[in-house]
Amino acid sequence: MLTAYDYQMAKILDATDIDIILVGDSLGMVFQGFESTRHVTLRDMMYHTSAVRRGTKRKMVVSDLPIGTYDTPGEAIKSSTMLVDSGADAVKLEGNFPEIIEAIVEHGIPVMGHVGLLPQSASKYRVVGMKPEEHSRIVSDSLSISQAGAFSIVVESVSEPLGKEITESVNVPTIGIGAGRYCDGQVLVINDLLTCDPSFKPKFVKRYANLGNLISEAVAAFSADVRANRFPDEEYSYGASS
């Protein structure tokens, strides 16, 4: 699973062999420039979900329910329906809220869970579950979420042994992000995978390309060509008969 927030990236990912495109509320940080995901609204998620859907014909699209949009079963159903109407195939929510998950699923909308580090409510981004009581709670939360009807669970920023224990304990697929090798799948933010921001260096991100450098080099070449009157030349200009 990889994130996408716009039509063009969705179109690129749709032609690959990944399984799921996540319209994550991480867009609040990588797209909008905030320091957390807590500024993202349902309207934001609907806008980006619609853009991603227009670029996606083959992949499953999962959209995050932003903070404050699933506090009650009724509100959760309404918010989830709006995301589905915008193009999502399923929604994702953070934390152990079995009644909320059950209500959305009973309404006919698939739900992806999320345990471990919960960016919407975390005061600090860190590895969680290191203390015995926290470890036990995260495992218990995972079981509760799977039993409530979630079709999969994202496991974020936990030790590899905890990620393995969760995966072996629940009866649905786990998707890790900073949770080690033993989850059933993995997810990354596409901007991190492509190194759009070289200053962001979490341990769990493997950089598969350096798009930031490529863009800088391309812009520098364009600027130099324009200043030297090399662009546009005859090849890129319309003639009298064009």
Question: Residue 98, SS3?
Answer: helix
Q: Please report where in the chains the tokens 């890129």 appear, as a residue.
A: 236
Task: Mark whether 156 is an active-site residue.
Answer: yes
Dump the DSSP string for 146-177: HHHT-SEEEEESB-HHHHHHHHHHSSS-EEEE
CA atoms of 11 and 232, how far apart (whole Å): 29
CA dist 54 to 11, 109, 160, 171, Å?
8, 20, 37, 33
Q: Which of 156, 168, 234, 235 is catalytic?
A: 156
Q: Alpha helix locations (H) across 55-127?
A: 73-85, 98-106
**Catalytic annotation, residues:** 156
